[in-house]
Structure 1
Amino acid sequence: MTDRSTLAALAARLDVLESEAEIRRIQSRYMFLCDTPCPEFAVRDDADRVDAVLDLYTDDAIWEGVGDYYADQFGAVQGTAALRAHFERFWGTRTNPRLVLNAHYLTSEQIHVDGDNASGQWIHMQPWLFADGTGVLRSSRLNNRFRRDDGIWRVSRTRTENVFVATLPTNFADSYARTTVLMDE
């Protein structure tokens, strides 16, 4: 191997590693922004949250729920306007009883980079706790795609499939965060 080819090979390997890190950050940030209470200091309300989430997506992105359970619950939307409406519906719809905690945990990560395109698979788990003490534990598989446009990685498809939903015992959590101060200045 010549010095030039060695440097080119190292640069290609470095690009893959940096791309994987950026994709990991994007996917984790999406989940972070979906948590309740939203732990990001700069997000003052649900409109800010929707804007922050949409910044992670390409203009032609697809968000879809697939499989028997999620296809009926979520369906599929494509493009910025449709994604905005989807997220506004989700956060704009106040549950009764009110959702007081939702935290996302990602696991079983696989990221595959191919030039300016990539895919990633995860399993995620999330408890949902409501003001009346009821709750559910949800898990789903994510099979997402990412695209690098003008040097910036963004989500081009979110695809989620239900693994299970389990009802938690009433008052399952006797202590939980009602607000967050982690990102407070």
Structure 2
Amino acid sequence: MTIEERLARLEAESEIRRLKARYLNACDAKQADTVRACFTLDAVIDFEGMGVFNVDQLVGIFTEIAVNSPISDSHHGHNAEIEILSADTAKAIWNLGFTTYDPRTGQFRALSMFYHDEYRRTEDGWRISKTRSLARSALEGTAIEGKLSANWLLPTA
């Protein structure tokens, strides 16, 4: 591999890392337009337990559940394994730590999951063209008046 090819791969990896960070931060900041801009127009989004969506459906659900509510979320992507497949395609596996809290009910959830992503370079830069999340574990509970009640849930498969 030439030095130019190696540099192009490193730049692509860096751009994909920034894209994923932008997506996760936009989710936490409740920025629906930024979430939308992280995907290709024909993207396939498969969230285990929720269903398979296109970008418009994802943004609609995101707006309903997150943007129009007082729920606060925190997404943390870790341990990216990015593989550049060609000058314009890539794939990656990310470990996601996710917490959400609803101050109206005191309910919280802490999830651990893997994202399996595919990426495509577009005129506007790298975008997510396919994503699939697979749950690893979940902790659900309530925190009311200083009392904590929680259940550790493990996936069945």
Pairwise TM-score range, normalised by the shorter structure: 0.7 to 0.9
Alpha-carbon RMSD across the aligned residues, in angstroms, is: 2.3
Quote the residue 1:178 is aligned against: none
When residues 170 and 82 of structure 1 are mapped into structure 2, their CA distance, relative to the original with a 3 A threshold, is closer
Q: How does 1:63-82 map to 2 (within 5 A)?
A: 63-66=45-48, 70=49, 74-78=50-54, 80-82=55-57
Structure with higher RCO (Cα < 8 A, 6+ apart): 1
When residues 117 and 128 of structure 1 are mapped into structure 2, their CA distance, relative to the original with a 3 A threshold, is same
Structure 1 unmatched ranges of 5 or more: 1-7, 39-45, 174-185
Q: For the residues of structure 2 that align with 1:103 and 1:92, how far apart are their CA atoms? A: 14
Name the structure with the higher strand share: 2
Q: For the residues of structure 2 that align with 1:128 and 1:172, how far apart are their CA atoms? A: 18
Q: Partner of 2:106: helix, strand, or coil?
A: coil
When residues 21 and 127 of structure 1 are mapped into structure 2, their CA distance, relative to the original with a 3 A threshold, is same
Q: For the residues of structure 1 that align with 2:130 and 2:15, how far apart are their CA atoms? A: 16
- CA displacement 1:72-114 (0-9 Å, x = unmatched): xx20012x433333333333564xxx42x31111222100011
When residues 172 and 59 of structure 1 are mapped into structure 2, their CA distance, relative to the original with a 3 A threshold, is farther
- Decide whether the 8 Å contact of 2:114 with 2:134 is kept in 1: yes
- Decide whether the 8 Å contact of 2:120 with 2:129 is kept in 1: yes
- Decide whether the 8 Å contact of 1:110 with 1:121 is kept in 2: yes
Structure 2 unmatched ranges of 5 or more: 147-157
Quote the residue 2:44 is aligned against: 62
The alignment status of 1:121 with 2:97, answered yes or no, reads: no
Q: How does 1:77-156 map to 2 (within 5 A)?
A: 77-78=53-54, 80-91=55-66, 94=69, 98-99=70-71, 101-115=72-86, 116-131=88-103, 132-150=105-123, 152-156=125-129
Q: For the residues of structure 2 that align with 1:151 and 1:10, how far apart are their CA atoms? A: 25
What TM-score comes out, normalization by structure 1 length?
0.69
Larger radius of gyration: 1
Q: For the residues of structure 1 that align with 2:91 and 2:117, how far apart are their CA atoms? A: 6
- Decide whether the 8 Å contact of 1:134 with 1:172 is kept in 2: no
